[in-house]
Amino acid sequence: MDKSFKTYLKHSYKDYKIRSVNPPLVRTSTVVFKSMKDLRNIQKKNLKNPRGGHFEYGRQGTSTTYELEKILNNIEESYHTFLTPTGFGAVFLTLFSILRPGDEIIIADPVYSPTRLLSENYLKEFNIKAKFYDPNNLNTIKSNITKKTKLIYVENPGSNTFEFQDLGKILSLAKRNSICTAIDNTWGTPYFLKPIKLGFDLSIVSATKYYSGHSDVMGGSLAVSKKVFKKVLQAQNMTGLRLSPDDAYFIMRGIRTLDVRLDKHQQNAKQIAKFLSTKKNIEVLYPLKKNTKNYKLWNKYYSGSSGLMGIKITSKNKKSVDKFVNSLKLFGHGYSWGGYESLALHQQIKEQGNRKFLQLKKNEHIVRLHIGLEDPKDLIQDLRRSIKFIK
């Protein structure tokens, strides 16, 4: 990019031919040509440059999806970015592209629970073995590496418990052993962290979250290095995992304000985290305190922090934690996050998946908070009123 990130997002598309600052929404299943010669020429161009948007069939995409790919390529600083119908579609495409029967994957223990189910249960049926590492002890990666290890899969920070990891050390281990690396970067987005530039081969973002920003569309992106491009291209062609033009259009509309929204999410989240950190029996799972390991690892790699955090509540009365969450007036209760609204979920142990290294005591409870774009004073007042119910 020859412009700053912020400026680029506002000027990433202009079409003076149709005199529009937004790309046209092109829906089609059949791509028509004036002659077979024209069709064959496009096929040749696509073979020569599969990143060039030379479509012969609607499943490959349209000019609308192509424009979103170009935007994401630039902000990810990647060789190419693939689009999928959901964020989890990007997770599946990652594993389907790299792993084959007999292979092994080493995966972060605090990974998104559907990703855990996919890697731990579904892949097992294809003779692909999943091993999990402790995000607080990267020696558990080293001890699990074998000649069969083909992928190290990171989620940073950890889902719900928000452990930050030393990404550089993970990459160094992988490179010494010629192992591909993938990261779920939905929390940070390329606004705060650019994994491909850092050295990862694959970078996943759930476009449902901050890219869209308005809780009205689902999608995923998978940015890749040149090393794995052909593998992912082949896998996407075989699976048909493509984002619709309508969803691409909505995501493009949302991404124009990604920087503005994330700056505000961060600002609000820091105020909320600071308030909650003063409360008895509450541990804030967010990079706030400078003397902590989590803060140092976040600060080492990230340029900012998003609006998603966890709080660990110590209480002998589980029902009082439920009452705290249920009594919040400005926090909705629902899955997903990344929209303009604040959300709160009491995450039960079973929702963490079959975690091997999670050390929660009997009276410790995890509540996930997404801090939205409301007035932080109102959010703090709402939390202050509801915290009184925790016994």
Q: Which two tokens stand for residue 41?
A: 């020429």
* Residue tagged 């998003």 (tokens): 306
Q: Which residues of 179-191 are buried (b: 16+ CB within 10 A; e: fewer)?
A: bbbbbbbbbbbbb
Domain coordinates of the chain in residue numbers? 10-27+62-255, 258-387
241-253 in b/e form (b: 16+ CB < 10 A) is: bbbbbebbbbbbe
Pick the CATH number of 10-27+62-255 from 1.10.220.150, 3.40.50.970, 3.50.50.60, 3.40.640.10: 3.40.640.10
**Between the CA of residue 146 and those of 103, 143, 173, what are the distances in Å?**
10, 8, 12
Query: Which CATH number applies to 258-387?
Result: 3.90.1150.10
Task: Give dist(CA 242, CA 248) in Å, integer.
Answer: 10
Q: Is the dihedral of CA 155, 161, 167, 171 positive or negative?
A: negative
* The two domains 10-27+62-255 and 258-387 share their CATH topology (first three levels equal): no
From first to last of its 391 residues, the chain has per-residue pLDDT tens of: 677 888 888 887 666 666 777 888 899 889 999 999 999 999 999 999 999 889 888 888 899 999 999 999 999 999 999 999 999 999 999 999 999 999 999 999 999 999 999 999 999 999 999 999 999 999 999 999 999 999 999 999 999 999 999 999 999 999 999 999 999 999 999 999 999 999 999 999 999 999 999 999 999 999 999 999 999 999 999 999 999 999 999 999 999 999 999 999 999 999 999 999 999 999 999 999 899 999 999 999 999 999 999 999 999 999 999 999 999 999 999 989 999 999 999 987 777 778 899 888 889 999 999 999 999 999 999 999 999 999 8
